[in-house]
Amino acid sequence: MLGSGFIAGFYTNALQKYRSRDEAVIAYSRNEENLRRFCEQYNVPEYTTDMAKAVQSPEVDLVVIGLPNHLHREAIELCVQAGKGVLCTKPLGRNAQEAKEMLDIVEQAGIFNGYLEDLAYTPKTLKALESVRNGAIGKVTWARSRETHPGPHSDWFWNIELAGGGAIVDLACHCIEIARNYIGKDVRPVEAMCWADTLVKPIAAEDNAIGLIKYATGAIAQFEVSWSFRGGLDLRDEVAGTDGTIWINNFLRTGFDMFSAPGRGGYVSEKAETESGWIFPVGDENIELGYLHMFGDMIDNFEQKSPPMESFYDGYVVNAIMDACYRSAKTKKWEPVELEDWRGKDQVDPIMELHDYNDQYYLVKEEKLPDGSVKTILKDKATGEFKQEHVMP
């Protein structure tokens, strides 16, 4: 385990709690005091402040990177040199160029690689994805993903050089990959439009942003991210299709509401701002936030020598989309998503399909009115004119 901070704790807990045959055998961090405390808490038998020593340990089969963004490249290079499989936290890189370089070196070395995008693995998301792929909502036309909270835990996040950006690179990476899964990873992201600003925090990076990403089918992905949202961690997704709709609330308001006048007296949930009044505890964050299913997928595929659901290539595509968003935030224009390496479809069918009503008309819409009658809107195939039919009960 490379790292001893907040995310490394989630990772280690999920790995050791839910897959009993897995063990964190050594941990690395630059801060020895934090590292010692981390290893005591998670029963990691060995630790070191030497990253290379941790990666090269003969007991290590797979390296998990839970480090600040600017250290990902160094860690991945060490994994390649040692021939160890590697799982890297999000975002893969601070920009697409950095992500592509890391993708290239692991693929050239032939080592297993996984992109730790936990929110693509939440139980609700996995169930929704299965439904979408089975055609339950038809063709996806729009996917909206929102992640907002009062700001990240560690000091390095707030440094634009170390992190590579602000709320976009920290949070929109989740939202973008969630939408890619719904729309289809083989559908090319074409262009992006983004607003980003620094509204509250005294930082050089953006603390709020809204973005649109257009895909080759015509589908639109929308993200909303904030480091200044008050009230906890808000994770919500919406998916609209030609034949249905999905709404998901992954966190904050999931059916577990509690009122406490004196205060709960302990940890409530990630980024909860209070423990008194109305609070929203989470049953098991490792499950609700996708860590359990993510590591199950990663390690099962590592053992089977097959690719996981989320790989470094996915991380690279996400970085390329975020780069386009950052450019758009500056130019105030739609900006192309520049993908040097595209592995999806070159041609896709548009979303729109014409549905025959009969030989003369296409069906536009049919609805039942309050009086029980049915109104049908039709389009003439030859003339393009619209007409309506009203059938009484």
Interatomic CA distance for residues 292 and 22, integer angstroms: 13
Would you list the DSSP string of 289-332? TTHHHHHHHHHHHHHHT---SS-HHHHHHHHHHHHHHHHHHHHS
Report yes or no on 228 lying in a domain.
yes
Report yes or no on 100 lying in a domain.
no
Tell me, yes or no, whether 365 and 328 share the same domain.
Answer: no
Tell me, yes or no, whether 22 and 129 share the same domain.
Answer: no
- Total domains in the fold of the chain: 3
Residue 387 belongs to domain spanning: 361-391
Buried b (16+ CB within 10 A) or exposed e, 143-154: bbbbbbbbbbee
Tell me, yes or no, whether 208 and 81 share the same domain.
Answer: no
Would you list the DSSP string of 52-111? HHHHH-TT-SEEEE-S-GGGHHHHHHHHHHHT-EEEEESSS-SSHHHHHHHHHHHHHHT-
Tokens standing for residue 155: 């000091």
Report yes or no on 263 lying in a domain.
yes
Tell me, yes or no, whether 208 and 145 share the same domain.
Answer: yes
Handedness of CA 159, 290, 126, 279 (dihedral sign): negative
Tokens standing for residue 123: 């139980």
- Look up the CATH number of the domain holding residue 73: 3.40.50.720
Give the predicted TM-score (pTM) of the model.
0.93
Closest alpha carbon to 239 in 123, 124, 89:
124
Report yes or no on 306 lying in a domain.
no
Quick check: helix, strand or coil at residue 43? coil
Q: What is the pLDDT along the chain (393 residues), one digit of tens a residue?
A: 999 999 999 999 999 877 678 899 999 999 999 999 999 999 999 999 999 999 999 999 999 999 999 999 999 999 999 999 999 999 999 999 999 999 999 999 999 999 999 999 999 999 999 999 999 999 999 999 999 999 998 999 999 999 999 999 999 999 999 999 999 999 999 999 999 999 999 999 999 999 999 999 999 999 999 999 998 899 999 999 999 999 999 988 888 888 888 887 777 788 788 888 888 888 888 889 999 999 999 999 999 999 999 999 999 999 999 999 999 999 999 999 999 999 999 999 999 888 999 999 999 999 999 999 999 999 999 999 999 999 888
| Last-in-domain residue among 90, 110, 129 | 90
Tell me, yes or no, whether 157 and 251 share the same domain.
Answer: yes
Report yes or no on 236 lying in a domain.
yes
